[in-house]
Amino acid sequence: DQQVKQNSPSLSVQEGRISILNCDYTNSMFDYFLWYKKYPAEGPTFLISISSIKDKNEDGRFTVFLNKSAKHLSLHIVPSQPGDSAVYFCAASASRTNAGKSTFGDGTTLTVKP
Amino acid sequence: EAQVTQNPRYLITVTGKKLTVTCSQNMNHEYMSWYRQDPGLGLRQIYYSMNVEVTDKGDVPEGYKVSRKEKRNFPLILESPSPNQTSLYFCASSQSTVSYNEQFFGPGTRLTVL
C-alpha cells in the first residue's frame, strides 16, 4: 500500500517556464509535507515544506500548494532553471500518530532544457 | 562544516557476512534515520531514532538492526546480508525529535550483496 505517490516519473520543461510536480497521498493522518531535491551521487536536500493548517507556502521561486480535500500537493518552480534538473521527492508525516516516521514518494525526475 | 557522514561509501560483500554502515552527524541533532533507495520505489525508511537509546522501526526494518548509544552516531547493522539488501542507503538527521522538520542527508552508501 503506497501511501505517497508521485505519478509522473519524469517531467521536461523549457528554461524560464513553470515546472509543476505533483504528489498524492492516501493517509488522512498526514499533516506535514516536505519536498526534497536530489542530484546524482548526492543525498537529498530539503527544499520546502507545508503543514496541513496552510494551503500554500512560498520560498523564492518555489511554491507548494496543498489541497487537503483532494489529498494532493504540488510544487511549482517559477521560473525553471537548468540547475533545477534533479529528482524531486515529496515526503509526508503524521505528527499526531507517528512523529518519527517519514513516507516518501517514488520521485519525479525534472529536466529543465536551456 | 555541518554534515552527515557515512562510511563506507561503497561496499561489495557476500551473502551472510555481517557488516556495519556507520553514520555520524556533527550538528548535535536529536533525530536520526536510515533510508534505502531502490529504482522505482523511492526512499523507504528502515529505522529511526528520536533520541539516544530510543529507536523504532520504519517501513522496511526486516534484516536490519540499529543502535543509538550516543547522540552523534547511528550505525546500521546487517547481521546476515542477502542479495535483496543490495541498495543505496542514506542516513539523515534533524534538529528536532521528529521526522517532519528538515532532515539533512548523508552522501549515501552503495551496497552490493553477492
Q: Smallest CA–CA separation between A24 and chain B, in Å?
A: 14
What pLDDT does residue A97 have? Answer: 85
Please give the distance of CA A76 from its chain centroid, rounded to a whole number: 9
Residue A65 has φ and ψ, to the nearest 5°, of -115, 140
CB–CB contact A100 B40 (8 Å): no
Q: Which of B43, B57, B93 to mutate to test the interface with A (most CBs of A within 10 A)?
A: B43
pLDDT tens figures, B43-100: 999 999 999 999 999 999 999 999 999 999 999 999 999 999 999 999 999 998 777 8
SS3 category, B87: strand
What pLDDT does residue A5 have? Answer: 95
Of residues B59, B100, B108, nearest to A93 (C-beta): B100
CB–CB contact A43 B41 (8 Å): no
Residues whose CB is less than 8 angstroms from the CB of residue A95 and which lie 6 or more positions away in sequence, other chains included? A31, A32, B98, B100
pLDDT tens figures, B3-47: 999 999 999 999 999 999 999 999 999 999 999 999 888 899 999
Q: What is the C-alpha end-to-end distance of chain A, expressed in Å?
A: 38
B42: left (phi over 0), alpha (psi -120 to 50) or beta: left
d(CA B113, CA A69): 44
DSSP strand pairing (B10-13 vs B19-25): unpaired
Which residue in A has a C-alpha nearest to residue B10's C-alpha? A41
Of residues B58, B104, B107, nearest to A101 (C-beta): B58
Q: Smallest CA–CA separation between A67 and chain B, in Å?
A: 18
pLDDT bracket for residue A39 (50, 70, 90): very high
Chain B residues whose C-beta is within 8 A of a chain A C-beta are 4, 31, 33, 35, 40-45, 48, 50, 56, 58-59, 90, 92, 97-108
CB–CB contact A99 B50 (8 Å): yes
Q: Smallest CA–CA separation between B23 and chain A, in Å?
A: 13
pLDDT tens figures, A55-94: 999 999 999 999 999 999 999 999 999 999 999 999 999 9
> Hey, which residues does B89 pair with through a beta bridge?
B36, B109
What pLDDT does residue B29 have? Answer: 94
Closest CA to A112 of A89, A73, A91, A84: A84
Please give the distance of CA B31 from its chain centroid, rounded to a whole number: 12
